Chains A and B, each alone.
Chain A
Amino acid sequence: MKRVVFLFLSVVILVLVASCTPNYKLKLSEQVEADNVTPIAMEESAKMEGKDTVMTFVVQNNRISVDSVAYINKFHRGAEADMLYMVRNESDVPIVPSIYFVGDAHIDDYSAVEGQGYDDVPNYVEEWISIKPEVAEIPPGMAQGYIVSLTMPNEEFTDLPNKFAFQIGVGVGHPLQLAVSPWWMVRMR
């Protein structure tokens, strides 16, 4: 009987431990103090790149690139999804990137997801976007990470599509600015 009790307790404890262990990542935005962020060396940024919540933007002279598209699944009210935008300045001069929301891009024009049921994003979603820290100058040869967060208020939005998409771009340069605007593909729970 003691063996049965022991086995039962073991199973219960295992189930509890499994269910209490966070299978989500610590919110990236909680790891960044907006007023205390300085550009980091390329080697440091390289350690953070290649992860599934990091998008890398490389800026060279008159050139910009991005390596991925963001997918957020099972999103719901009260939830927050963070993506790290790592901007690498490989140009000869300091840069001040623009990070901007594009709500008027038409997902129907994105042929790779045609027929998957994504809708254009409602205007109010722009208010759910936050970027930390504020953009500032990145010296040549340095990188800066920006936490781009999508935070849905804890209330119901009846006209919010079950699947929607928008872009959050990064641009550099004046008076001609080159930019890349990766899609954020959001699927509600």
Chain B
Amino acid sequence: MLLKAKIKEKGGEKTMGRIMSELKGVRLLLALLLALLPMMAMSGKALAATTADITVNATPAYVEISCNQSSYDFGVVATSSTTNTSTAYFGIDNNSTVQTDQTISVTTTTWSGGLGWDHSDAGTAGDNTTAIYAHNTDWSIIVKNAAPNYIAENQAATTDYDFGLSLQAPTVLYDGAEKSITVRISASQG
């Protein structure tokens, strides 16, 4: 009766039956809320455990290089000899639309063929060990395991360059089998 009186005081025309109906609604609402709570908690947990908020994007930056040569044959080399290409034997056509850093390296620590030569990161030939240098503006060591040296650093967009190679033959040779190694020119946005 008190409740009815209070409602009447607010100017409502509600009956006791309607109030009971509203109370039922409130109870229903509370029950639903209680039922939904675990679901809401679980959904938050699932999100936290997934990669949901990682963003992965590939944004435009065009880098392109080509070369006018695909190989060079140093021919037969004598022990402790140094054989050079011309310093502009390899021409890199740089069609990148952005500034690039371009490195030169070998992709393995040994040469293939027969008893493979070891490659020297220190740039020093030795017993069955060889070294290679590259020339753009200066001669620099070509390495495998250390951070590669730049053959062209801060190369301006669409600007070409040339380079040459120099081979220091081992001080001791063990066979006459042809040797081969891969020299990699790699361009990245710089």
Instruction: Report yes or no: B58 in contact with A175, Cβ–Cβ below 8 A.
Output: no
The number of residues on chain B lying at the interface, defined by a beta carbon within 8 Å of a beta carbon of chain A, is 62
Instruction: Report yes or no: B40 in contact with A16, Cβ–Cβ below 8 A.
Output: yes
Instruction: Report yes or no: B71 in contact with A175, Cβ–Cβ below 8 A.
Output: yes
Q: Mark B79-98, 1 if CB is under 8 A from A, else 0.
A: 00000000000100101001
Instruction: Report yes or no: A5 in contact with B64, Cβ–Cβ below 8 A.
Output: no
Indicate whether B180 reaches chain A with its CB closer than 8 angstroms.
yes
The CA of A34 and the CA of B62, in the complex, are separated in Å by: 29
CB-CB nearest in chain B for A103: B147
The CA of A105 and the CA of B148, in the complex, are separated in Å by: 8
The CA of A27 and the CA of B148, in the complex, are separated in Å by: 33
CB-CB nearest in chain A for B147: A104
Q: Mark A43-78, 1 if CB is under 8 A from B, else 0.
A: 000000001111100001011111111111111101
CB neighbours of A178 from chain B (8 A): 65-67, 184-185
Indicate whether B159 reaches chain A with its CB closer than 8 angstroms.
no
CB neighbours of B65 from chain A (8 A): 63-65, 178, 180
Instruction: Report yes or no: B189 in contact with A110, Cβ–Cβ below 8 A.
Output: yes
- Residue of A79, A105, A181, A182 touching B51 (CB-CB under 8 A): A79
Instruction: Report yes or no: B51 in contact with A81, Cβ–Cβ below 8 A.
Output: yes
The number of residues on chain A lying at the interface, defined by a beta carbon within 8 Å of a beta carbon of chain B, is 66
* A72-B56 contact given A67-B61, A180-B188, CB 8 Å threshold: yes
Instruction: Report yes or no: B58 in contact with A60, Cβ–Cβ below 8 A.
Output: no
CB neighbours of B62 from chain A (8 A): 65-67
CB neighbours of A128 from chain B (8 A): none
Q: Mark A173-189, 1 if CB is under 8 A from B, else 0.
A: 11111111111000001
The CA of A181 and the CA of B93, in the complex, are separated in Å by: 17
Instruction: Report yes or no: A23 in contact with B54, Cβ–Cβ below 8 A.
Output: no
Using CB atoms and an 8 Å cutoff, list the residues of chain B in contact with chain A.
Answer: 21-22, 25-26, 28-29, 32, 36, 39-40, 43-44, 46-47, 49-72, 90, 93, 95, 98-99, 101, 103, 107, 146-148, 153-154, 180-190
Minimum-distance CB pairs A-B, first 6: A65-B64, A63-B66, A68-B58, A104-B147, A179-B186, A1-B25
